[in-house]
Structure 1
Amino acid sequence: MAARPPAQPVAILRGHRAQVHAAVFMRLDQTESSGATMTTDTRLATGDSDGYVVLWDLAIVRPRAVWRAHTSSILGLAAWDDDQQLVTHGRDHRLVVWQVGVADEARMSTTLPLDDELSGSVSTKISESTALRPQPWMVQVLEVNTMNFCAFAWTNLAGRAAAATTVTKGSREISTCTTATDLALNGTMPRERLVAVPNTLTLEAIDLYHLPSQQRINTIRAGTKEGMIMAVALFYTSLPTAPEPLVLIAGFENGVVVLATLCQGADGPATILYRAQPHSQPVLSLDVAPDRSYFLTSAADAVLAKHPIRVTVATQEQQRTSALAPSTSKTLQMSSASNAAQSTRKPVSLLSAALAKEAATSASTPLSREFKPTPAEKPVEVETQPLATVNTKHAGQQGLRIRDDGRVFATAGWDARVRVYSAQTMKEVAVLKWHQTGCFAVAFAPIVKTVTSPDAEHGDKDLATSSGAGVVSKVSSNREASVKERRLRHAVTAHWLAAGSKDGKISLWDIF
């Protein structure tokens, strides 16, 4: 049999003049019924080491908005699609939330950073190009630590953290964390979120910030002598408990991976449930499975590791019992003391008082022993073994991402290869080779589930919602679609994989 030809990218996005460090698909349909799906307004956001962000239109493979978000390298990007916002984390110690809706693109520049390099000297043009490119509306600016090259992690706030409820207690606090856009559109407070970044002073500690109040509500020490934190993840479990356990995952410089839970709220104490060292080199990236049952890590060595996520209700109940037991014993001791005080008020003889005191002492001793918590309470058992480890023999794989269907995951390699693995078996299923220099970032687009109508009389079914960019409709086999319809349909239904490289180019692949 003839060997299959090597896979080729569908498109190459050229525009960055510096190495691409982060990529994310944004403006996805986040309805509860269909989950995350792509629409004709979906954009691919990429960030480079010069601080530039480019929003690419996948239908026309052209930029829709270009601006300089940071004065230094961009570490991470995140899309808050519910609010049409993009979050950028830069090496200039700032985390910025930008308002980048479809209407905001009309006033944005589409001049790529590479065009400035072609038109003249980069050093003389960089200030002029920054002034010519208007920035989107800046919703939030959070000063954070970026000394250890670790990108931030975030999650929507479940319930109400005690330290975060102060944002609604006074008009002063509300005015400092509410933008004019939010008040004009909703008239309410913006959505609450938690952001995790490494601590500034302690290498092994992680700070939890609350947005929009911009208050640090917790500092969690996840290790002792593991070195710098290189990667973090933050999410809530799906356990039917109140409050939901908050899970924090950290990968360290010495290859250690730690999982901790906060069962008493985001501002409560943390309990380490898992600690393993599958890597001999610094952890470069990690990602959590869509069903929250495991997470994967990659490092500067050639090892890929799969780790368990086992957060049970028993752990939460044990922490709650240990927290309430001391207060219960104090209450019992106070009640016995008050009863003894009331009994001394009665006029009794010296002999009766001595006999009553001795009886009360002998009676209170077994009672206090019965309700007093045992000092040697069973500690939480810490797991130390990963589910699986694979030596890929290819060192330096980062940017690990798991697709939303949980079937495959991909890594960006320093050897200029993008490798795709099976999430179940962790075996290599594809090697994507186009770039000539190392790759740093990988992003998956969500998988659109196409549903065909059994009734022919209903006609064609829409694959995506109508928007400013047009309507994508499924075309029946007995008639031809226009070129525009085919292009839009392919942009929505393709299984996109984007890879950013050191050469400043982004390759778009349609795989599996």
Structure 2
Amino acid sequence: MSAPSPVHILRQHNAQISALAFSSDNRLIYSGDSDGMVCIIYCRTLRPISLWHAHDGNILGVEEWDDKIITHGRDNKLHVWRAPTIIQTISDSTSTELEHPQLLYSLDVNALNYCRFSLLHGSPTDQSSRTTALVSLPNLIDSDLADVWELPSCERLHAAVGKASQAPATLDGTGRTKTGIIMSMHLFRAPAGLGSRSGQLRILAGYEDGSVMLHAYDGNASTSIDGQGWVDLWTCKIHRESVMHLAISPDLAFCLTVSADHLIGKIHLKDNISEERSMVHRTKHPGNAAVVIRSDGRVCAIAGWDGSVRLYSTKTFKSLGTLAYHRDSCYAVAFASLHPNKHEKTAVDEDEDEDEDEDAEKRTRWLIAGSKDTRISVWELMDFDRKRVRPV
């Protein structure tokens, strides 16, 4: 079997690709680069519908939130934009004007440690609300700690998560925690089945020293300061180098971590487990920048500094293949959803229902990777239950 090739190459950027995401319905690709440019690409035509200078610095993250777009940059800003109206742009194939999103509001943030935001839909009082959300970020002053903000109120609900649990023995001679700064984080609520802890607010954080820690809010108030009310449920140290990225499975059962070393860490997130909480898979490929887990939780993709994206089973870590196109380091990777949200049909969709249904099914198998070479590769993956991509 010959090595796979990307089905499309996107060249909308002129700088290193640093962030990638799909829309919830798989119709759009969001991408950001190291010059602060953000692009929205319509998957059906693979043409941009919006391209704008969102930040004065590297884009750390970009994500869709209802009818809005959140971008996070190294300029110490988190922006919330109103998404452009894509119907007219899509239907007018002759238009050369790209609509820019409208900036709604911004947060001043701390981007010293390159750690991107983590978004959680819903507020403490209404977790099902689509109009409110929580976002976790590194603390404004101390990059070892985390803050939790509410949107759109821009109110800081929890400040300096991790501070109250710091004991004197965890400090080095300079007063800094031995874990170092937060490198990657994920904000979530404890899933059902944990009794009184169901719905508990939690932050999983990967640190500079290679450790991963789970913080949980045990307080009764809706806000906290200096980390009061937050406890550390457990700590795992897998990597010798800094945790470059972590990803949590859709069912919140486990997380995967990658680093500059050759290890892939898997950590079980359930509170009470009989087996070891963490396991390590040793690869032959050091230097990994990002990891993502497919929406069924069965497959992961890891973007490497060697320019390759490697696919693994999340259960056995059996190799499912290597996607090799980029000659420079890959820093971003994203899966399309296997079960995308339905979107409202436009006039274009109604004329092309049959073709669109076929294209939509193909897009559920898409994976995108972004590289230092400024390009985004689009791959159409096969059914891993039947076949396996031959590694290259």
Aligned counterparts of 2:319 and 2:53: Cα–Cα separation in 1: 37
TM-score (norm 1): 0.64
Aligned counterparts of 2:82 and 2:18: Cα–Cα separation in 1: 21
Task: Kindly provide the CA deviation profile for residues 207-251 of structure 1, in whole angstroms up to 9, marking residues without a partner as x.
Answer: 111111212121202663211110000011222648721111110
Cα deviation for residue 60 of structure 1 reads 1.0
Structure 1's unaligned 5+ residue stretches are: 29-37, 111-131, 162-188, 313-381, 450-462, 476-484
Letter of the structure 2 residue corresponding to residue 391 of structure 1: R
1:499 aligns with 2:369: yes
| Structure 2 SS opposite 1:146 | coil
Conserved 8 A contact 1:473-1:489: no
What corresponds to 2:9 in structure 1?
Answer: 12
Cα deviation for residue 383 of structure 1 reads 11
Of 367, 378, 385 in structure 2, the residue corresponding to residue 508 of structure 1 is 378
Task: Kindly provide the CA deviation profile for residues 278-322 of structure 1, in whole angstroms up to 9, marking residues without a partner as x.
Answer: 00001011111111111111111111011111247xxxxxxxxxx
Question: How does 1:74-223 map onto structure 2 within 5 Å?
Answer: 74-80=59-65, 83-103=66-86, 106=89, 135-160=100-125, 191-219=131-159, 220-221=161-162
Conserved 8 A contact 2:20-2:334: yes
Question: How does 1:215-364 map onto structure 2 within 5 Å?
Answer: 215-219=155-159, 220-221=161-162, 224-239=177-192, 241=196, 244-264=199-219, 267=223, 269-311=229-271
Distance of aligned partners of 1:141 and 1:415 in 2 relative to their CA distance in 1, 3 Å threshold: same
Aligned counterparts of 1:447 and 1:194: Cα–Cα separation in 2: 25
| Structure 1 SS opposite 2:252 | coil
Aligned counterparts of 1:436 and 1:214: Cα–Cα separation in 2: 41
Aligned counterparts of 1:49 and 1:250: Cα–Cα separation in 2: 24
Question: How does 1:364-403 map onto structure 2 within 5 Å?
Answer: 386-403=277-294
What corresponds to 1:429 in structure 2?
Answer: 320
Letter of the structure 2 residue corresponding to residue 252 of structure 1: Y
TM-score (norm 2): 0.83
Conserved 8 A contact 1:204-1:225: no
What corresponds to 1:66 in structure 2?
Answer: 51
Cα deviation for residue 84 of structure 1 reads 1.5
Letter of the structure 2 residue corresponding to residue 204 of structure 1: D
What corresponds to 1:489 in structure 2?
Answer: 358
Distance of aligned partners of 1:241 and 1:102 in 2 relative to their CA distance in 1, 3 Å threshold: farther
What corresponds to 2:299 in structure 1?
Answer: 408
CA RMSD of aligned residues (A): 3.0
Cα deviation for residue 156 of structure 1 reads 2.0
Cα deviation for residue 403 of structure 1 reads 0.6
Task: Kindly provide the CA deviation profile for residues 135-156 of structure 1, in whole angstroms up to 9, marking residues without a partner as x.
Answer: 3111221110001111011212
Count of aligned pairs between the two proteins:
356
Cα deviation for residue 393 of structure 1 reads 2.0
Letter of the structure 2 residue corresponding to residue 267 of structure 1: T
Distance of aligned partners of 1:415 and 1:388 in 2 relative to their CA distance in 1, 3 Å threshold: same
Letter of the structure 2 residue corresponding to residue 60 of structure 1: T
Higher strand share: 2
Cα deviation for residue 14 of structure 1 reads 0.8
What corresponds to 1:443 in structure 2?
Answer: 334
Give percent identity, aligned residues only: 33
1:47 aligns with 2:3: no
Structure 2's unaligned 5+ residue stretches are: 167-176, 384-392
Q: Which has the larger radius of gyration?
A: 1
Aligned counterparts of 2:125 and 2:63: Cα–Cα separation in 1: 23
Aligned counterparts of 1:290 and 1:102: Cα–Cα separation in 2: 29
More displaced 10-residue stretch of structure 1: 213-222 or 86-95:
213-222
| Structure 2 SS opposite 1:489 | helix
Distance of aligned partners of 1:465 and 1:193 in 2 relative to their CA distance in 1, 3 Å threshold: closer
Cα deviation for residue 410 of structure 1 reads 0.4
Conserved 8 A contact 1:158-1:244: no
What corresponds to 2:309 in structure 1?
Answer: 418
What corresponds to 2:22 in structure 1?
Answer: 25
Distance of aligned partners of 1:139 and 1:426 in 2 relative to their CA distance in 1, 3 Å threshold: same
Task: Kindly provide the CA deviation profile for residues 323-342 of structure 1, in whole angstroms up to 9, marking residues without a partner as x.
Answer: xxxxxxxxxxxxxxxxxxxx
Aligned counterparts of 1:95 and 1:60: Cα–Cα separation in 2: 29
Task: Kindly provide the CA deviation profile for residues 406-439 of structure 1, in whole angstroms up to 9, marking residues without a partner as x.
Answer: 1101011000100111011122211000111110
